[in-house]
Structure 1
Amino acid sequence: MDLPKHFVIRESSHRVLNPIESAQLATLGAALRLPAGGTLLDLACGKGELLCTWAREHGITGTGVDISTAFLADARARAADLGVADRVTFLHGDAGAYVAAEPADVVACIGATWIGGDTPGTVRLMESSLKLGGMLLVGDVYWRADPPPEAVEALFGADCLSLPGQVERFHELGYDVVELVAADERGWDRYAAASWLSMRRWLDANPDDELAPEIRSELTRSQLQHVRWQRPYLGWGVFALLRR
């Protein structure tokens, strides 16, 4: 069980695997007023930047679960670099099937709301590892402006809501939104464009690899998709939720 190689190639230079920048991740950690010694479970943790930096800055402990062995290797190296390897643990596995043995103060799923089938399903999955009175952190997309049909088809389809629609959905699930840190066009550019250079460098170094046609196609498609649809229409944010 592992993440397909083209994802690893595409995001090889990324530290944060979402359109939120490191400074915004730090802003979110500070805004949540995390108690020292609190516990955090990060489902689909990627390279572990949230866990590692928050362990250093806020004294939390935590566990990250991800399907990618390559990303987890980067996460463990990052923990060692930041001196928090004794505070965070990274597990290889299916985040969509993981339930913590001990409920956590905070459960996060940042940008991987498909692990529970959809956003409501992922919220219910996260609840199974959350302490009573704990907080959920959900990173998800939304439409910033009314999209044309081509944008809906190219991106996330009917399950993607407007920002008010997202907040209303969380209300329907029984939660108050108590914090929000949203990506802007700069964040989208940094996330998307960094992958273009990574893919191009890989293609230059591996022209005869069996994955080269797929990577070439994705490089071309992703550039046009970003400038046509993602940048002008698609929003993304981390929503902090407390049960009503």
Structure 2
Amino acid sequence: MDRQRLSRLAHARHPIAAPLADESVARLLERATAHTEAGRALDLGCGEGAWLVRALASRPRWRAVGVDLDAQALTRARETATALGVVRRIGLHHSDVREFGATEPFDLVLIVGSTHAFGGLRPALAAARELLAPGGRVLVGEGFWEREPSRAALDGLGADRDEYADLATTTDRLVVDGWTPVDGHVSGQPEWDAYEFSWSGALAEWALDHPEDPDAASVREAADRHRTEWLHGYRGTLGFVTYLLRRD
């Protein structure tokens, strides 16, 4: 199955594509947008636009732009924005995030769970810096090692040991690059477990509900494989941190 369609199915019940509970998302958005009544937000790798439509719903004088390669996800984002009455304040671009350019800077740039599109956290932040207005904020989410990864964890994630660092090292690298964390959130185990059960469960349920679909068997296989890789591999090893950053 196409990876983009698989991701849409997996996130059907958890549109924030990261292990963050609704209350965590709400608090981070409140902090990220509190510095100005009227602002512009950009989400690089926006998917179905969950972060942006929530921000616009709570900030009536903000405008937003989302960028993603998944055209169907952008269609869903537009539908959600229409239902919430914020569609006139959002622009959605079907584009590679690495190629996106803007004529005006943004007061908030979001890259949560999509740093891989840039080749990692530091190049993602380098791209965000070029799009950020003076005094603006970046909300970025990234993985880190909660503990030394086992071979089972690395195999389950399809990752190398050097792909992530521990939380302290990850934070130190940001500071060296000229960023100051002004807030943040480390996802707890209940958030991780809810996200992973939702991810694999949404796929399994779709396969059960669509047994005649040609993709049903591959979707069920993906659900079972993901659940096994998580429970027998990286559970408790891979962490997730969402930073709110400012430039020095």
Q: TM-score, normalised by structure 1?
A: 0.91
Give the aligned partner of residue 151 of structure 1. 153
Larger deviation, residues 197-206 vs 18-27: 197-206
Is residue 24 of structure 2 the alignment partner of residue 24 of structure 1? yes
Classify 1:211/1:225 alpha carbon distance in 2 versus 1 (closer, same or farther; 3 Å). Answer: same
Larger deviation, residues 184-193 vs 35-44: 184-193
CA distance in 2, matches of 1:58, 1:110: 20
CA distance in 1, matches of 2:212, 2:80: 32
Give ranges in structure 1 of 5+ residues lacking alignment: none
Q: Retained in 1: the 8 A contact 2:201–2:223?
A: no
Give the aligned partner of residue 71 of structure 2. 69
Give the aligned partner of residue 54 of structure 1. 55
Deviation at 1:24, TM superposition (A): 0.7
Is residue 235 of structure 2 the alignment partner of residue 235 of structure 1? no
Q: Retained in 1: the 8 A contact 2:112–2:242?
A: yes
Matched ranges for 1:194-233 at <5 A? 194-233=198-237
Q: Deviations over 1:57-92 (max 9, x none)?
A: 133211011111222122112212222112222222
Deviation at 1:209, TM superposition (A): 4.0
Q: Retained in 2: the 8 A contact 1:17–1:47?
A: no
- SS of equivalent residue, structure 1 residue 207: coil
Give ranges in structure 2 of 5+ residues lacking alignment: none
**What RMSD, in angstroms, separates the aligned Cα atoms of the two structures?**
1.9
Classify 1:69/1:54 alpha carbon distance in 2 versus 1 (closer, same or farther; 3 Å). Answer: same
CA distance in 1, matches of 2:179, 2:150: 30
Give the aligned partner of residue 37 of structure 1. 38
Give the aligned partner of residue 160 of structure 1. 164
- For 1:35, the aligned partner's letter is T
Which of 94, 113, 131 does residue 92 from structure 1 map onto?
Answer: 94
Which of 186, 191, 198 does residue 195 from structure 2 map onto?
Answer: 191
CA distance in 1, matches of 2:205, 2:30: 36
Identity across aligned pairs (percent)? 26
Which of 102, 105, 118 does residue 104 from structure 2 map onto?
Answer: 102
CA distance in 1, matches of 2:201, 2:151: 29
Which of 80, 83, 94 does residue 82 from structure 2 map onto?
Answer: 80
Q: Deviations over 1:169-223 (max 9, x none)?
A: 1112211111102211121122211122321222224435443343232111111
Give the aligned partner of residue 178 of structure 2. 174
Deviation at 1:3, TM superposition (A): 5.6
Question: Structure 1: which 4+ aligned runs deviate by more than 4 Å?
Answer: none
CA distance in 2, matches of 1:70, 1:230: 30
CA distance in 1, matches of 2:64, 2:98: 18
Q: Retained in 1: the 8 A contact 2:144–2:166?
A: yes
- SS of equivalent residue, structure 1 residue 114: helix
CA distance in 2, matches of 1:95, 1:185: 30
